[in-house]
Structure 1
C-alpha cells in the first residue's frame, strides 16, 4: 500500500542514540477504509481510494451516502486516491499504520496555516523602505516602487506584493519515520509538517 490519510496531533521531542534531542510530530495515521477500487478496464487507470475520519450521516450528501454504503462503511471525513496499491485490496478493507516501518522515509502532503492578507515584509521578507529621515513618513513597511511609468506602463505578472499568505498545499519530501505505535494508530516523524493541529495529511511511501 503506497500511503495513508492522517491527522496532525501535535509536536513532541525524542532522543537519538547519541542523546541528541530531536523535534518530532505525532500523526494519527489511519485506520483508513478502502472506499473505491479503480481499474484500467473501468476507469482508465489503477488507483485506490481511502476514507479516513468519521462524518455525521446527517451532514453527508446523498450521493456520498450511497458511495460509502457500497463500501459497507460509515461516512468518512476525508477521501484520497493512491496509485500503486496491492492487488488483493477490496472494498471495505482496512489499512492501518503498520504499512510504515521505523527508519524509512515518507512524503507528507498538507495545507499550511492560513495567515490572511499580509504585506511584503511578512510575505516576502522585504526590508522596508529604510530610514525615517529625508522626509519619509510611515514608510517603514512599504513595498516601494512596483514598476516604471511610460514604459512598460503596467505591472509585470508575478510582482511580489501584499496578498493572501498561507493556506496552500505543500509537499515535504523524505521525512523520516522515528516510531510506529501500531496499537494507537500513531506515527512519529522527524521534524515539523504543514498545517495546524487537527489538520488532515496525506502520507505517501517513497
Structure 2
C-alpha cells in the first residue's frame, strides 16, 4: 500500500541505541477500510480509497451512507484516495477489507507525513515571513518597529506586485514533511512512533505515505 490514514496523538521523546534523545511524534494509524477500488478500465487510473475514524450516522449525508453500505462498513469521518498501489497488494485491496499498520509499514522505514498546519489567524510580517523587527528595525522604520516599510514603487508601475511578503492569514495549510523514520510500531494499539515533527494540532488527521 502506498499509505494509510491516521491521527496525531502528540509528541514525546525516546532514546536510541546510542543513548541520544530523539524527538518523536506518536500517531494512531488505522485500521482503515477499503471503500472503493478504481482501475484503468472504468476510471482511467489505478487507486484505492481508504476510510478512517468513526462518524455519527445522523451527521452522514445519504450519498455517503450508501457509499459506506456498499463496502459493508459504518460511516467514517475521513476518506483519502491513494494512487498506484503495488501489485503485491492486489489481494488486500478488496472492497470492505481492513488495512492495518503492519500491512503498510515496518520499523526503520522512512515515511512522508501530510497534515494541516495550525491556523494562526491574521499575522504581521515579522511572524509570517520572519522580518527583522524591533532590534533590526524592519526596512528602516524608526518609530514602528514591526512595520513592513515601503512596499511599492512611484508612478510606475503604480501597483503592488503579486506575491509580495506582507501581513495576512497564516497557517491552516496542507504541509508535507518527508523522510521521517519509523522508530517503533505498536501493532496491538495501532500506534506508530516517527522521529521528527508532524504538522497539525493534536487529534488532527494525518496521512502517512511510503
Aligned Cα root-mean-square deviation (Å) = 1.5
Counterpart of 1:87?
A: 90
Long gaps (5+) in structure 2: none
The separation in 1 between residues aligned to 2:98 and 2:176, in whole angstroms, is: 25
Instruction: Report SS of the residue matched to 2:164.
Output: coil
Counterpart of 1:56?
A: 56
Counterpart of 1:166?
A: 171
Counterpart of 1:66?
A: 66
Q: Point out the more displaced range, 79-88 or 10-19.
A: 79-88
The number of aligned residues is 202
Does the 8 A contact of 2:184 with 2:194 survive in 1? yes
The separation in 2 between residues aligned to 1:169 and 1:151, in whole angstroms, is: 36
Could you report, residue by residue, the CA deviation over 1:118-165 in whole angstroms, capped at 9, with x for unpaired residues? 00000001113756xx9944x111100001121111101111000000
List, as ranges, runs of 4+ consecutive aligned residues in structure 1 with deviation greater than 2 Å: 128-131, 134-137
Instruction: Report SS of the residue matched to 2:4.
Output: strand
The separation in 2 between residues aligned to 1:135 and 1:94, in whole angstroms, is: 60
TM-score (norm 2): 0.93
The separation in 2 between residues aligned to 1:47 and 1:127, in whole angstroms, is: 47
Counterpart of 2:35?
A: 35
The separation in 2 between residues aligned to 1:24 and 1:127, in whole angstroms, is: 31
